[in-house]
């Protein structure tokens, strides 16, 4: 319940983030609630992950969730699905060039409400 209280107390300027947080809280999955807690922080405190860091943690076929922005610095050698709140244009191009897929968190929550077999990258 702490997450719902946090969502109600904060005044989010971006309606997309508030809608996403409510959607994540409704899943009642521990994984998605952990993602929602990271996303409910102020935008200046959200994570920004480079592709080089994702490449170090990924193996082929993994689905990695970034509760922030994926940046395009570095290379990606494995075919992975990267799910994030935001992407830089160069990150999307590099992911697609490696044969992977770049999805927004909203898209994956609709497909997988349990959050199993996903890796959280912070």
Work out the average pLDDT over 6-33.
Answer: 90
User: Mean pLDDT for the chain?
Assistant: 93
> Residue 31 is part of which domain span?
2-120
pLDDT(1) > 70: no
CATH number of residue 83's parent domain: 3.100.10.10
Is the CA virtual torsion 47, 51, 53, 54 positive or negative? Answer: positive
Q: Whole-prediction pTM value? A: 0.92
Instruction: Please state at what angle helix 15-27 crosses helix 30-39, rounded to 10 degrees.
Output: 160
């Amino acid at each position: 319940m702490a997450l719902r209280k946090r969502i109600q107390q904060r005044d989010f300027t971006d309606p997309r983030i508030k809608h996403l947080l409510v959607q994540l809280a409704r899943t009642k999955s521990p994984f998605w609630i952990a993602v929602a807690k990271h996303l409910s922080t102020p935008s200046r405190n959200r994570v920004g992950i480079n592709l080089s860091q994702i490449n170090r943690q990924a193996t082929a076929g993994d689905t990695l969730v970034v509760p922030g922005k994926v940046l395009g610095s570095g290379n990606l050698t494995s075919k992975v699905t990267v799910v994030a709140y935001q992407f830089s244009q160069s990150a999307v191009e590099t992911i697609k060039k490696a044969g992977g897929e770049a999805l927004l968190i909203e898209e994956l929550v609709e497909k997988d409400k349990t959050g199993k077999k996903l890796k959280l990258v912070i």
